[in-house]
């Protein structure tokens, strides 16, 4: 069961191509949006949105790394990359507002976010379970234990699929909140709002590509386990 299989790349090709296109779109719209002025820096925009929502206890901090922006629900803090934190641009306020959108979701107990957060341990350990059980199950495929072990491996990968699927509405909702609030609060003008939408929509496609990737990986291994093996393998 363990060998170089061209069929794997046939299964995965749509996700790989989509991810390459999405990443190219992200970098293009990111740089283009950095040239469009906004009224506040990313950090100031995030702070303003949080304060308007009554979330003065949520911090805004500087993070290291490119596109390392995220909201940490445990520490209740937004961490923004250096460009986003300091720059007064459509890209910066769009990304910052997106992360502020996650803080608003957390405060309002947005159901998909609560489910996603609860699924984090399963998504974290699922790949380890999958890899270990797949290897052991493959080695013992002729024994009575082989089948159950391979099914367990598939279940581990299924945890990752579930996490990625429930993550989609979380990310899209945060982006929708960002687009609406930036316009409502006058942080961007109509022209800059178009650039914000372009950046956040491009980022949304990377989440779609990541979800498609793990779904197709699941489909490949399900095919190999249930129907794709010949009797002499």
Give the tens place of pLDDT for each residue, 104-162.
999 999 999 999 999 999 999 999 999 999 999 888 888 888 889 999 999 999 999 99
- Angstrom distance (rounded) from CA 20 to CA 17: 5
Q: How confident is the model at residue 228 (pLDDT cuts 50, 70, 90)?
A: low
Q: Which of 99, 171, 213, 233 is catalytic?
A: 99
Contact 131, 77 (CB under 8 A): no
Q: Is residue 44 part of a domain?
A: yes
The strand order across the sheet containing 70-72 reads 59-63, 77-81, 70-72
Q: Is residue 25 part of a domain?
A: no
Percent pLDDT > 70 in the chain is 96
pLDDT of residue 225: 87
Q: What is the mean pLDDT of residues 23-35?
A: 95
Convert the pLDDT of each residue in 180-198 to its tens digit: 999 999 999 998 999 999 9
Indicate whether 212 pLDDT > 50: yes
Q: Is residue 20 part of a domain?
A: no
Contact 161, 155 (CB under 8 A): no
> Alpha-carbon torsion 215, 114, 77, 123, what sign?
negative
> Which helix (H) or strand (E) element contains residue 70?
strand 70-72
pLDDT: which is higher, 79 or 233: 79
pLDDT of residue 119: 93
Q: Is residue 11 part of a domain?
A: no
pLDDT of residue 59: 96
Q: Is residue 28 part of a domain?
A: no
Q: What is the mean pLDDT of residues 60-64?
A: 94
Backbone angles phi, psi at 17, to 5 degrees: -65, -40
Q: Is residue 4 part of a domain?
A: no
pLDDT of residue 65: 85
Q: Is residue 12 part of a domain?
A: no
Q: What is the chain's mean pLDDT, rounded? A: 92
Q: Is residue 21 part of a domain?
A: no
Q: How confident is the model at residue 66 (pLDDT cuts 50, 70, 90)?
A: confident
Domain count along the chain = 1
| Residue count (the chain) | 233
Whole-Å CA distances, 217 to 13, 70, 122, 171, 214:
11, 26, 17, 22, 5
Say if residue 186 is exposed, middle or buried (CB neighbours under 10 Å; 0-12, 13-18, 19+).
exposed
Beta bridge mates, 59? 77
pTM, two decimals, is 0.89
Contact 168, 128 (CB under 8 A): no
- Angstrom distance (rounded) from CA 232 to CA 53: 63
Residue 111: give the domain boundaries. 37-226
Percent pLDDT > 90 in the chain is 85
Indicate whether 230 pLDDT > 60: no
Q: How confident is the model at residue 101 (pLDDT cuts 50, 70, 90)?
A: very high
Say if residue 176 is exposed, middle or buried (CB neighbours under 10 Å; 0-12, 13-18, 19+).
middle
Annotation marks residue 99 as catalytic: yes
Packing angle between helix 146-184 and helix 111-118, nearest 10 degrees?
140
């Amino acid at each position: 069961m363990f060998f170089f299989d061209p069929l794997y790349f046939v299964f995965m090709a749509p996700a790989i191509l989509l991810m390459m296109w999405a990443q190219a779109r992200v970098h293009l719209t990111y740089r283009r949006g950095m040239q469009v002025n906004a009224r506040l820096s990313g950090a100031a925009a995030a702070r303003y949105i949080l304060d308007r929502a009554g979330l003065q206890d949520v911090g805004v901090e500087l993070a290291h790394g490119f596109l390392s922006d995220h909201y940490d629900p445990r520490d209740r803090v937004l961490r923004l990359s250096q460009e986003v934190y300091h720059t007064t641009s459509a890209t910066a306020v769009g990304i910052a507002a997106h992360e502020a959108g996650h803080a608003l979701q957390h405060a309002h107990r947005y159901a998909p976010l609560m489910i996603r957060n609860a699924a984090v341990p399963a998504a974290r350990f699922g790949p380890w379970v999958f890899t270990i059980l797949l290897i052991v199950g493959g080695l013992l495929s002729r024994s009575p234990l082989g089948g159950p072990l391979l099914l367990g491996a598939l279940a581990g990968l299924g945890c990752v699929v579930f996490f990625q699927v429930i993550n989609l509405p979380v990310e899209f909702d945060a982006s929708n909140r960002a687009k609406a609030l930036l316009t409502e609060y006058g942080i961007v003008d109509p022209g800059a709002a178009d650039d914000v939408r372009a950046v956040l929509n491009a980022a949304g496609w990377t989440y779609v590509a990541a979800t498609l990737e793990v779904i197709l990986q699941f489909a490949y291994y399900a095919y190999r386990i249930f129907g794709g093996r010949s009797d002499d393998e």
